[in-house]
Amino acid sequence: MEVPHDLVEEIISRLSVKSLLRFKSVSRRWRWTLESQHFKKRHMTHHQSLDPNFLLVEGLFEPINFCLMRMLVLGSSVPIELPCPNPPPRRIDIPAIEFNVPPKVTNSCDGMICCYDRFGEIFVVNPSTRWYRQIHGAGYQEIYSLLRERGKMPTARYSYDKLGFGKDIYTGAYKLVWLYNNFKRHEDSVTTCEIFDFDQTNTWRYVKSFPYVIFDACQEPVYVDGSLHWLINDGPDTTKTRVVSFDFHKETFEATFVLPTPSRNFGLLNVSNLNNRLCLSEKAWPKQYIWVLNHEDKTWEIMYSLDLPYFPREFFPGNEMDRQVTIPLAILKKKNKLLLFDGIDRNPGPSLVIYDHDLRSYGKCFDRGICNGMVPYYPSLISIPF
């Protein structure tokens, strides 16, 4: 008796990307199935219902045997190297200092990430399938490279260079968004926004920006459900902190989410994507508060209140009152435990911390080593057609 093809699809949609890539050689029908958008979305939807893997983004070091990313599967002790295309580390020469700057990595969207640097190279990559697509440089990169050649490196305030990656949830169009402070103070707008649209022009274009200066170059733009989000405040002398959001469908900005905390120290605040909800974390020693945004009424509700003194001492030596916030990465669906990334720059030190809310206990999940970031990641077969 022949097994219905829809049942076969349901079974194989639960398999890993690595196994499915091998199955393409079974028959033409299997190859057609595995390459269809219908099956790719079905496979992705199933894996997004599970706990994520994590991409470990490498830190600052020599480019010998350089591997930008490794993938950590929960339950394993050794991450897997992902030798996918990426810009090489760049040598930066500053008086009395020479060091290599590795490429930056955006958040994950449908199993793809974007790796880039400020000098002109941009790759959209699916780390699981090794698919990639190179994008030509944005206007920001041209200006930055020109200033560097002339020896006029911009100050930190004017060198915000974090790229955002996401999609229009209504049309399915993927886009890159680059929002940055203008290099000249006397320009009409304090920020500039560039967009790369994969489905229409395949070129960078400018859209109307917003009248707020970005004060923290360490914050990453966060993609949640069709929008990118940045943490800003109304000025250096105000305590009114907001989230500025860019809607991929409307291509407009909104600054409507006033945060539930008056903190002015951006090093103690962080926005992130926590299980597809916009999350705000604040360290207010001896607590760390974690809020999530209700999409319906745009209000914040507190989800966790962490007692930092009860963390093992290796996580927070001393009070750590002036150190950056620990970043929530995911809530494990099966065990209802919270995973946090300890981003404090010290070595040795743990990268991944697991918090059991019921037992009020903390444990080390994975040692960082040379790693300056972790990205929750769901493997997929998705790619962006040329």
Residue 191 lies in a domain: yes
Residues 199-233: tens digit of each pLDDT: 777 889 999 887 777 766 567 899 999 999 988 76
Residues 65-88: tens digit of each pLDDT: 445 566 676 666 566 666 655 555
Task: Compute the mean pLDDT over every residue in the chain, rounded to the nearest whole number.
Answer: 78
pLDDT number for residue 195: 94
pLDDT number for residue 139: 85
Residue 382 lies in a domain: no
More confident residue, 147 or 252: 252
pLDDT number for residue 64: 47
Residue 384 lies in a domain: no
261 and 288 share one domain: yes
The DSSP code sequence of 239-258 is --EEEEEEETTTTEEEEEEE
190 and 288 share one domain: yes
Across the range 12-31, mean pLDDT stands at: 89
5 and 104 share one domain: no
**What is the domain range of residue 33?**
1-49
298 and 161 share one domain: yes
DSSP state of 112: B
DSSP state of 143: H
5 and 134 share one domain: no
pLDDT number for residue 186: 47
pLDDT number for residue 276: 92
Residue 386 lies in a domain: no
What CATH number does the domain containing 209 carry?
2.120.10.80
Contact criterion met (CB below 8 Å) for 280 and 264: no
**How many independent structural domains does the chain possess?**
2
Give residue 172's pLDDT band: very low, low, confident or very high (50, 70, 90).
very high
The DSSP code sequence of 193-231 is EEEEETTTT-SEEEE---S-----TTPPPEEETTEEEEE
What one-letter code names the amino acid at 218? C
Give residue 194's pLDDT band: very low, low, confident or very high (50, 70, 90).
very high
Poorest-confidence range of 20-24, 87-91, 135-139, 273-277?
87-91
The whole-angstrom separation of Cα 102 and Cα 117 is 8
Q: Which of 11-20, 148-157, 204-213, 337-346 has the highest mean pLDDT?
A: 11-20
Residue 175 lies in a domain: yes
Q: Which among 386, 319, 310 has a CA at the least distance from the CA of 355?
A: 310
Give residue 35's pLDDT band: very low, low, confident or very high (50, 70, 90).
very high
The whole-angstrom separation of Cα 159 and Cα 161 is 6
First to last CA, the chain: 41
- pLDDT value at 367 more than 90: no
Residue 383 lies in a domain: no
Q: Which among 315, 319, 324 has a CA at the least distance from the CA of 349?
A: 315
Q: How big is the CA angle at 49 (ends 45 and 53), to the nearest 5 degrees?
A: 100
Q: Which two tokens stand for residue 67?
A: 């591997």
Across the range 314-329, mean pLDDT stands at: 65
Poorest-confidence range of 33-42, 186-195, 325-334?
186-195
33 and 67 share one domain: no
38 and 138 share one domain: no
